[in-house]
A and B are shown apart, each in its own frame.
Chain A
């Protein structure tokens, strides 16, 4: 259980213990997905083993030293609400916190923090190391053991060169970018999943043999620069919010000193250096074949694809409080080292910059997640779960969220309980997993708020209201946290009732106050809620009109929740109807014998697609691309004609 240096953590010399104490959940990998998977399974009381090639890299931030962002902040908060570790770890090791999208009236706000990446990994290692029921083994998984379509364990090679068969009831693969990882800097290539670390060989070959569809993707990272060689005085200093807002719904504290980032821009010279060296770019010479993310382009991509843009924004972010390394956010590149040096020197403030490490691109094997169930268990191999970048996603939050769900579901499977599946109406996590398993991936998948059709309801501020009860149910939310949650929900409800049920009378005092906010006087009495719906007013003003403690009792975050929910009740209400409509569609199922090809009024393409994919319910059909509301109505009509009892007359479409 203790984690110290490079020594084998798990008592391998006593091989018998595997037979005595069988592993319930074996997690391959110790990244963001691996940590959440291992912790959730162990916290649910299952015997858990994490197998990782280098335990000192557990919880490592391979790329940017930050957690959150638009869409990703929501994921981090949801992980926390369910009882995961990422939010707490981010709070405790964060050195700058900022909320994004703070425009007036915005309902889609996201949190982001800069992390001290050393402390982030150290703390995570500490948590993993001290977690009861979780053990860590250093080694490389060479083979999965599969019998009759079911996982039975893995074969591990430990650093001493010996191999060991470890039986396990379930296995979660969270191998990140390590499967056949190949790094590119210019035309130089190095096998590995991360700078200085060896790739995992063989595992992907075996997955291919097991008929799991593999893809080759690519991602990249910028160079790291030395702090002392940069002139920050010519850059724009950027501070975080004061006071900083936490990720976690638990009682964490932000205690590290808060620091600034620096904003600068590329110059026309930068662009001409890059343009002049494209023949040496592995990306543009065709050497890299993996598909990279469109939304996170390398600097050479930006220069080629947006030639009209005179400059691109760069944020210089500190990697850790006690580190000289600076992460230049915005210049991910796989150009050769000399080109990287040349173009960086054209950036204001970087004239004499020194490199700590060069940027690189990494190509890696991943498994097309279309072969997974919503529980993240493989459809082909029972007991095998996959989570994180190996499923074609990108980002720590995306990985962590899948790791959490895979760990929970592996544990639930061992406990012979139903898997936990979050719906699209419930969580960003639900949206992500549904996207992955129903559509597969063609490029690294990153969360955006626009992927969530119910984003007005899936907010950061209500992640706990949405998911705390789910976390509690599976045993990941402790008594203290759950009591805090129920108390908060009660206070919010009291304040909501107060606003919607209490009337403001048009007294001269009130009218005067309204006049100072440049909003029309009251014609008749109105509820506080009605007043709050005026675009020019916020809860901050409305609460000044009353001395009732209901609103004053709320902390600023809860006030925001209340304001958004009351102000935009109409929109949120519409979305609720939509959610109900979709959930009703989920209850309308197609009989086994249903012939999609017989449905008149559908195009040939749609009929063909439906016949091939055979959705179980109308809701499943609605998520297939090209299946329009009109097509759904037609399907429903057809079902009713066939006398399907689930297609009742209360039209779900």
Chain B
């Protein structure tokens, strides 16, 4: 980690609003000289500008006295401010030239550009924010889905605690298996056999928790609706038909990869990500050979998938195989191309899947399909668990990666006394997942995870 200057005796500043140019840009100063420094650059037309809580309108000048902008200034007096120190916010026009001149002048007057997260750090030191609030703040910045706001503010440690405790009790079970194997050596091989399923279970359920956090931070917690099907089944037409109806509220996603096409779609009050795997159909055909292909990765991560079947040719072995392997993830079968003469009635499906006859080309049945999607989405959203904080997530993540090592050693046949050794440490570390966040944690990681005020 780069060494950072966190000297709290200095007054710091940063542009706290977004990309320039823009309508308004705010530069915030915090520190004992915040008012003194800004008074050199700002003159109010009416009320004298002094160390006081309040709002002034006036002119911003450069260090050499040239007027550069007409601005509004906000003053906060210690301890009643975000950082607990004196804070001045200069609300300028969002001009790159103005801001550049202002920053240069501030440095000239002895202020220092803030390090990443330094305002929050001062807030922490001055008791204005707790480590938990800071972690929450970091997550608020990343939240994309309005529902995530509730998940962050209502973080229930108790619910997550129960989940981590249940992981812990499984690790204790694992410990019992290893120790029994050593202490009752005549039954070694029988006893040790029980270890792998337990190990797998812990990894799987642990990953569900960390997955929750990573899907939250990448925005992919937005449920994914994935379209799969053979070439020419009509996926792309259906994709367009689904979007077309809601064109007005579709946002283009800059992260679109060249393999898949993704679009954000609001459906009622829920944001969905619609994924067309058309671009990866070649790999999809080869799934059986490849084991897990890119297409399957998307399928695995989907909240709901649509199997698009060409109603003229019906189901092939590949479709049956997909239904068989991914039947646990909610899905709908679209029996496409009702508008064509060769369209045949669908067969009976094995798991009583919802089947919607439709024509992507004419739009017949698309409304009915949306209804089914909406119905399915209610159950999809309900499965979300408590959201860990960044610290909890990182701690759990490191436990899980060591558990993978343990699993590999188990498969290698390492004697149980060594497995037990690693597992015992894992149990200790798992107990720290829900523990207090110390100042060291905060300094070391949280502030580099997000950036406030810079």
Q: With A and B bound together, what is the CA distance between A70 and B183 in angstroms?
A: 6
- Nearest to B424 among chain A residues (CB) is A453
User: In the assembly, what is the distance between CA of A629 and CA of B424, in Å?
Assistant: 12
CA distance A70 to B186 in the complex (A): 10
Distance in angstroms between the alpha carbons of A575 and B418 in the assembled complex:
11
Question: With the chains together, A634 CA to B439 CA distance in Å?
Answer: 11
Contacting pair B185 A100 (CB below 8 A):
yes
Complexed CA–CA distance, A634 and B183 (Å): 35
Contacts of B432 in A (CB 8 A): 628-630, 633
The CA-CA distance from A251 to B428 in the complex, in Å, is: 43
Contact A630 B185 (CB under 8 A): no
> Are A106 and B434 closer than 8 Å at their CB atoms?
no
Q: Please give, as numbers and ranges, the residues of chain B lying within 8 Å of A575 by CB-CB distance.
A: 421
Contact with A630, one of B183, B424, B431 (Cβ below 8 angstroms): B431
The stretch that binds A, out of B17-25, B66-74, B409-417, is B409-417
Q: Which residues of B contact A149 (CB under 8 A)?
A: none
Within 8 A of B (CB), among A78-106: 100-101, 103-106
Residues of chain B with a CB closer than 8 A to A631's CB: 435
In contact, B435 and A630 (Cβ under 8 angstroms): yes
User: Which residues on the A side are within 8 Å of B412 (C-beta)?
Assistant: 535
In whole angstroms, what is the CA distance A601 to B418 when docked?
33
Q: Answer yes or no: B182 CB below 8 A from chain A CBs.
A: yes
- Does B173 make an interface contact (CB < 8 A)? no
Query: Within 8 Å CB of B343, what residues of A?
Result: none
Residues from chain B with a CB closer than 8 A to the CB of A103 are: 185, 188, 415
Contact B182 A101, beta carbon cutoff 8 Å:
yes
Contact A629 B183 (CB under 8 A): no
Our pick among A101, A535, A628 for the contact of B431 (Cβ within 8 Å) is A628
Number of interface residues of A (CB under 8 A): 30
Considering the complex, give the chain B residue whose CB is closest to the CB of A634.
Answer: B436
Contact of A107 among B188, B418, B425, B434 (CB under 8 A): B418
* Chain B residues touching A, majority SS: helix
- B139 on the A face (CB < 8 A): no
A568–B417 Cα distance when bound, in Å, is: 11
Is the beta-carbon distance between B182 and A108 smaller than 8 angstroms?
A: yes
Whether a CB of chain A sits under 8 angstroms from the CB of B118 is no
A residues near B414, Cβ cutoff 8 Å: 105
- In the complex, how many residue pairs between chain A and chain B have their CB atoms under 8 Å apart? 73
Chain A CB within 8 A of B420 CB: yes
Q: A456-B421, A535-B412, A575-B421 are in contact. Are A450 and B435 (CB under 8 A)?
A: no
Q: By the criterion of a CB under 8 Å from any partner CB, how many residues of chain B are at the interface?
A: 25
Task: For the complex, give the distance between the alpha carbons of A107 and B415 in Å.
Answer: 8
**Which B residues touch A68, using CB under 8 A?**
none
Query: Cα distance A631–B185 when bound, in Å?
Result: 35
Which of B414, B432, B434 has its CB near the most chain A CB atoms (within 10 A)?
B432
B421 and A101 contact, CB distance less than 8 A: no
Give Cα distance in the complex from A103 to B186, angstroms.
10
B383 within 8 A of A: no
B417 contacts A107, C-beta separation under 8 Å:
yes
Q: Which of A108, A630, A634 contacts B434 (CB 8 A)?
A: A630
Is B424 a contact of A71 with CB atoms below 8 Å?
no
Contact B185 A101, beta carbon cutoff 8 Å: yes
A15 CB, min distance to chain B CBs, angstroms: 51
Residue of B at shortest CB range from A602?
B436
B168 nearest CB neighbor, chain A only: A628
Q: Among the listed B186, B420, B428, which residue makes an inter-chain contact with A450, where contact means beta carbons less than 8 Å apart?
A: B420
A105's nearest neighbour on chain B, judged by CB, is B415
B53 proximity list for chain A (CB < 8 A): none
Chain B residues whose CB sits within 8 angstroms of the CB of A601 once the complex forms: 436
By a CB distance below 8 angstroms, the chain A residues around B418 are: 107, 456, 568, 571
Given contacts A106-B415, A628-B428, contact A450 B436 (CB under 8 A): no
The distance in angstroms between the C-alpha atoms of A607 and B122, with both chains bound, is 31
Which single residue of chain B is at the shortest CB-CB distance from A450? B179
> Per-residue 0/1 for A543-577: is the Cβ within 8 Å of any B Cβ (1 yes, 0 no)?
00000000000000000000000001001001100
Alpha-carbon separation in the docked complex, A531 to B184 (Å): 31
Q: Does A449 contact B (CB under 8 A)?
A: yes
Residue of A with least CB distance to B415: A106
Does A455 interact with chain B (Cβ within 8 Å)? yes
Whether, in the assembled complex, B40 has its beta carbon less than 8 Å from a beta carbon of chain A, the answer is no
What residues of B have a CB within 8 angstroms of the CB of A449 in the complex? 179, 182-183, 417
B51 contacts chain A at the CB level, 8 A cutoff: no
A634: chain B residues within 8 A (beta carbon): 435-436
Q: Knowing A106-B415, A455-B417 are in contact, say whether A629-B429 is a contact too (CB < 8 A).
A: yes
Q: Mark A411-432, 1 if CB is under 8 A from B, else 0.
A: 0000000000000000000000
Starting from the known contacts A70-B182, A107-B415, A633-B438, 17 additional A-B residue pairs (CB-CB under 8 Å) come to A70-B183, A106-B417, A107-B418, A108-B415, A108-B417, A313-B186, A448-B179, A450-B179, A450-B182, A450-B420, A455-B417, A456-B421, A575-B421, A628-B428, A628-B435, A630-B431, A630-B435
- State the A residues within 8 Å of B (CB): 70-71, 100-101, 103-108, 313, 448-450, 453, 455-456, 535, 568, 571, 574-575, 601, 628-631, 633-634, 637
A/B interface sample: 25 pairs, CB < 8 A:
A70-B185, A101-B185, A103-B185, A104-B415, A106-B415, A448-B179, A448-B183, A449-B183, A450-B183, A450-B420, A455-B182, A456-B417, A456-B418, A571-B418, A574-B421, A575-B421, A628-B432, A629-B428, A629-B429, A629-B435, A630-B431, A630-B434, A630-B436, A633-B432, A637-B438
